Chains A and B, each alone.
Chain A
Amino acid sequence: DIVMTQTPLSLSVTLGQSASISCRSSQSLVHSGGNTFLSWLQQRPGQPPRLIIYKISDQFSGVPDRFSGSGAGTDFTLKISRVEAEDVGVYYCMQATQFPHTFGQGTKLEIK
């Protein structure tokens, strides 16, 4: 199974500042078809997960452009520019290149 490792596991950010979360996979996430199925999900308190980024860097519909994804192969990053109060929650990376699909442990974002 592909192991997804996120760092840090918690993050305290001042409103208006940026935040960065790293996700590393135990093997390459490049699919045989050439795509890399790495996505990022946000889970606000008491809510189901919500897709924010897919295929490393594509923003899902309705997601503010403050959210951006980057990376390749085994190393990926989610960046949140100008953090707002509504960004509080847990962020997960997820790989869907291979079965079983696997998630990172989650990174809890709070406001300082």
Chain B
Amino acid sequence: EVQLVESGGGLVQPGGSLRLSCTASGFTFSRYTMNWVRQAPGKGLEWVSYISAGSSTIYYADSVKGRFTVSRDNAKNSLYLQMNSLRDEDTAVYYCARVNSFGYAFDYWGQGTLVTVSS
């Protein structure tokens, strides 16, 4: 069974940093592209970042470029999102999502981890 489990969320002050993790199981993690997507409280979905299977290709939303860094450790079946210079508007549930191999869609999602940026 494919599982994605996010962790690392919490309360942080504006300007602070946080590192999110997403641990994968039930599939060969190293073969799949991954993404981060976030959802502010009561709002819609916002794509955040993309990382290819071998980490050679990375993209970011303009809203996080220069502040967030995505990475992965295929040996540990883990995806990461380092978030620096956090702002109030970064408050959201952060989901990791797998890209399927047959049609570029986000086929499996984690349960999400809540990041709250507040003083």
Chain B residues with CB below 8 A from A41, complex form:
45, 106
**CB-nearest residue of chain B to A39:** B105
Stretch in B9-17, B66-74, B109-117 touching the partner: B109-117
Q: A49-B45, A58-B103 are in contact. Are A99 and B109 (CB under 8 A)?
A: no
Number of interface residues of B (CB under 8 A): 24
Cβ of B107 under 8 Å from chain A:
yes
Cβ of B44 under 8 Å from chain A:
yes
B109 touches A49 (CB 8 A): yes
B106 touches A100 (CB 8 A): no
Q: Which 4 A-B pairs have the closest CB atoms?
A: A54-B105, A39-B105, A101-B47, A48-B109
- Chain A residues 2 to 51 lying within 8 A of chain B, measured CB to CB, are 35, 37, 39, 41, 43, 48-51
A94 touches B45 (CB 8 A): yes
Q: A94-B45, A99-B50 are in contact. Are A54 and B103 (CB under 8 A)?
A: yes
- Residues of B at the A interface (CB closer than 8 Å) are 35, 37, 44-47, 50, 59, 61-62, 95, 97, 99-100, 103-112
Chain A residues with CB below 8 A from B107, complex form:
51, 54, 60
A51 touches B105 (CB 8 A): yes
A49–chain B nearest beta-carbon distance, Å: 5
Chain B residues with CB below 8 A from A67, complex form:
none
In Å, the complex CA distance between A107 and B104 comes to: 22
A8–chain B nearest beta-carbon distance, Å: 15
Contacts beyond the supplied A51-B108, A96-B104: 17 A-B pairs with Cβ under 8 Å: A37-B103, A37-B104, A37-B105, A49-B109, A51-B106, A51-B107, A51-B109, A54-B105, A55-B104, A55-B105, A58-B103, A94-B105, A96-B105, A96-B106, A101-B47, A103-B46, A105-B44
